Structure 1
Amino acid sequence: MRQVGAIIQKGPQHWAIIQQENGFGSVTLSGNWSADGLGIFKSAQVYARVVSEEDAREIVSWHPASMLAEQAWEITLDSIPAGGLYRLETCLQLDDNPAMEWANRGDMINHIGIGDLWVIAGQSNAAGYGKGPFQDSPQLGIHLLRNSGQWDLATHPFNESTASIHFENREAANPGHSPFLAFGKMIQKAAGIPIGLVQTSLGGSPLKAWNPDEDGVLHRNMINIIQSVGGKVRGILWYQGCSDCSPADSVSYLERFSNTVQHWRRELKDASLPILTVQLNRCTDVASIEANHSWGRVREAQRQAALTIPEVYVIPALDCSLSDGIHNSPAGNMIIGERMGKVALAHVYKREGIYAEAPCLTSAALIEEDALPSIRLEFANVNGYLLAIGPISKVFTVEDARGEVEISSWQITARNEITLKLARAVEGDAFVHGAYEMNPSSFLPLDSGSYMPTLAFYGQQVI
Structure 2
Amino acid sequence: MTKNTILRTLCVGLMIAGMSDGVHAQEAARVDMKPLLHPLFSDNAVLQRDRPVPIWGWTEPQGQVVVQLDGDKQQTARAGSDGRWMVSLAPHAAGGPHLLSVMGSGAGEVATRQNVMFGDVWLCGGQSNMAYDLYGANNPEAEIAAANYPNIRLLQVPNAIKATSIQTFETTGAWQVCSPQTVARFSAVGYFFGRKLHHDLNVPIGLIDDSWSGTPGQSWVSGPALAAMSDFKPAVDALKQSESAAGTPPHLDNPNAPEVLFNGKIAPLLPVQIKGVIWYQGESNADTAAEAEQYRTLLPVLVNDWRAHFGARTPFHIVQLSSFKAPDDAPSDDPWPHLREAQLQTAQRLPHTHLVVVIDLGEEKNVHFRNKQEAGLRLAMSALDHTYGVKVDSSGPALRGAKVVKGAVELTFDHAQGLNLKGDESRVFAVADADRKFHWATPQIDGNKVTLRSVDVPSPVYARFAWSNNPRAALYNAAGLPASPFRTDPDAK
- TM bracket, shorter-chain basis: 0.7 to 0.9
Q: Distance in 2 between matches of 1:125 and 1:207?
A: 14
Question: SS of the residue aligned with 1:299?
Answer: helix
Counterpart of 1:362?
400
Relative to 1, partners in 2 of residues 1:397 and 1:452: Cα closer, same or farther, differing over 3 Å?
same
Counterpart of 2:293?
251
Q: Distance in 2 between matches of 1:83 and 1:28?
A: 21
Tell me how far 1:222 sits from its aligned partner.
3.6
Alignment of 1:380 onto 2:422: no
Counterpart of 1:169?
none
Deviations 1:57-111 (A, max 9, x none): xxxx74567699xxxxx9979446332341317799xxxxxxxxxxxxx985322
Tell me how far 1:367 sits from its aligned partner.
1.0
TM-score, normalised with respect to structure 1: 0.72
Contact 2:68 2:100 in 1 (8 A): yes
Larger helix percent: 2
Alignment of 1:314 onto 2:355: yes
Between structure 1 and structure 2, the one with the greater Rg is 1
Contact 2:54 2:272 in 1 (8 A): no
User: Out of 144, 152, 174, which is 1:142 matched to?
Assistant: 152
**Identity over aligned pairs, percent:** 23
Q: Distance in 1 between matches of 2:433 and 2:450?
A: 19
Question: SS of the residue aligned with 2:274?
Answer: coil
Relative to 1, partners in 2 of residues 1:80 and 1:430: Cα closer, same or farther, differing over 3 Å?
closer
Relative to 1, partners in 2 of residues 1:406 and 1:247: Cα closer, same or farther, differing over 3 Å?
closer
Aligned length: 384
Alignment of 1:178 onto 2:202: no
Relative to 1, partners in 2 of residues 1:294 and 1:109: Cα closer, same or farther, differing over 3 Å?
same
Flag structure 2 segments of 5+ consecutive residues without an equivalent. Answer: 1-34, 60-65, 79-84, 104-109, 159-171, 227-231, 233-257
Q: Distance in 1 between matches of 2:210 and 2:112?
A: 29
Query: Amino acid of the residue matched to residue 444 of structure 2?
Result: Q
Tell me how far 1:247 sits from its aligned partner.
1.0
Counterpart of 2:139?
133
Q: Distance in 1 between matches of 2:182 and 2:345?
A: 29
Relative to 1, partners in 2 of residues 1:28 and 1:244: Cα closer, same or farther, differing over 3 Å?
closer
Relative to 1, partners in 2 of residues 1:225 and 1:391: Cα closer, same or farther, differing over 3 Å?
same
Alignment of 1:81 onto 2:92: yes
Question: SS of the residue aligned with 2:188?
Answer: coil
Of the structure 1 ranges 234-243 and 83-92, higher mean CA displacement relative to structure 2 is found in 83-92
The within-5 A match list for 1:142-161 is 142-146=152-156, 147=158, 148-154=172-178
Greater RCO (CA < 8 Å, at least 6 residues apart): 2
Alignment of 1:348 onto 2:387: yes
Tell me how far 1:248 sits from its aligned partner.
0.4
Tell me how far 1:191 sits from its aligned partner.
2.9
Counterpart of 1:5?
none
Counterpart of 2:369?
328
CA RMSD across the alignment: 3.7
Tell me how far 1:253 sits from its aligned partner.
1.4
Alignment of 1:440 onto 2:475: no
Tell me how far 1:307 sits from its aligned partner.
0.9
Question: SS of the residue aligned with 2:437?
Answer: strand
Tell me how far 1:333 sits from its aligned partner.
1.0
Alignment of 1:455 onto 2:465: no
Flag structure 1 segments of 5+ consecutive residues without an equivalent. Answer: 1-7, 32-45, 51-60, 69-73, 93-105, 161-174
Tell me how far 1:154 sits from its aligned partner.
4.0
Q: Distance in 2 between matches of 1:29 and 1:309?
A: 34
Deviations 1:143-200 (A, max 9, x none): 122223211124689999xxxxxxxxxxxxxx77611111112222333322211122
Relative to 1, partners in 2 of residues 1:67 and 1:271: Cα closer, same or farther, differing over 3 Å?
closer
Deviations 1:300-323 (A, max 9, x none): 111111111111100110222549
Relative to 1, partners in 2 of residues 1:344 and 1:67: Cα closer, same or farther, differing over 3 Å?
closer
Query: Amino acid of the residue matched to residue 283 of structure 2?
Result: C
Counterpart of 1:423?
455
Query: Amino acid of the residue matched to residue 394 of structure 1?
Result: R
Of the structure 1 ranges 206-215 and 302-311, higher mean CA displacement relative to structure 2 is found in 206-215
The within-5 A match list for 1:17-56 is 17-22=46-51, 25=53, 49-50=69-70
